[in-house]
Amino acid sequence: MLSPDTIKSFQTQISKAEANLDVIDKKIQESIEKAQQAGDVDNVMKLSALGSELKALKNSLPTQDIVGDDAELERAAETLGKINTQMDSIMSKNNKTAALISNVSDLITNISGFISPTNPTDTEDSTDTADTTVPENSTQA
């Protein structure tokens, strides 16, 4: 029997993740528009692909069908908490295009690892390096 506190904690993280993903989606679209204006087709393609994939993964986040025991759910909430921290980091910075692409790629790896734990990518390890933001002045849009 799952405790209400554990369920609540998990659902809070899921809601936060969904809201964060919406903000990141807007950031990606803004970057696509900038890249379009700059004629940077390569980055438009990359960002479109990442944006689409992120959206699909958002649709695959668990919602009400919670299964498992308390310990399992606590681990899931903790992992999701780390992913949310990673997203906070992406949202708080004014990423250049290349940095955004790099950070969103890492984020996708972690979210897909969270959704499908059998994926060889180890979610727990990869979320430990949550702040994967490339320095802002390292690349140009």
Partner 1 sequence: MMQYRSRFIVALLLSGIGACSTLNYQQPITQFSQGVSDLNAAFNALKVTRDNAAINNLANSLKLQGTFLSLPTDCPITDNPPREAKPGDCSWSIHYPGGNKVAANVKNHEAQSLAFISALNAYGQGLVVISSAQDVAALKAAVAKAGSAISTVSSVAMPGSGTAVNIITTGFAWLFGEIADAERLKTLAAIVEQADPVIQKETSLLQKSAEHLQAEILNDQQYIIYSEMAQVTLLSKSNGSYSDINTAAQNVVNDAIAYDKTASNGIGGALVKMKSSHADLLKSLKKPDINFEDAISTASDFAAQASTLMTIEKGN
- Interface with partner 1 by CB under 8 A: which residues? 25, 29, 32, 36, 39, 41, 44-53, 55-57, 59-60, 63, 112, 115-116, 119-121
Q: Which is nearer to partner 1, 119 or 136 (CB)?
A: 119
B/e letters for 30-53, b = 16+ CB within 10 Å, e = fewer, are ebbebbeeeebeebbebbeebbee
CB of 53 to partner 1, least distance (A): 5
Identity of the residue, 101 or 130, whose beta carbon is nearer to partner 1 in the bound complex: 101
Q: How far is the CB of 44 from partner 1 (least distance, A)?
A: 4
Tell the smallest beta-carbon distance from residue 49 to partner 1 (Å): 4
Structure tokens, 49: 């692909």
- Tokens 């803004």 appear where? 30
Tell me how far CA of residue 44 lies from CA of 39, 47, 53, 86, 117, in angstroms: 9, 5, 14, 23, 30
* Nearest approach, Cβ of residue 39 and partner 1 (Å): 7
Rounded CA separation 77/80 (Å): 5
Q: Which is nearer to partner 1, 37 or 140 (CB)?
A: 37
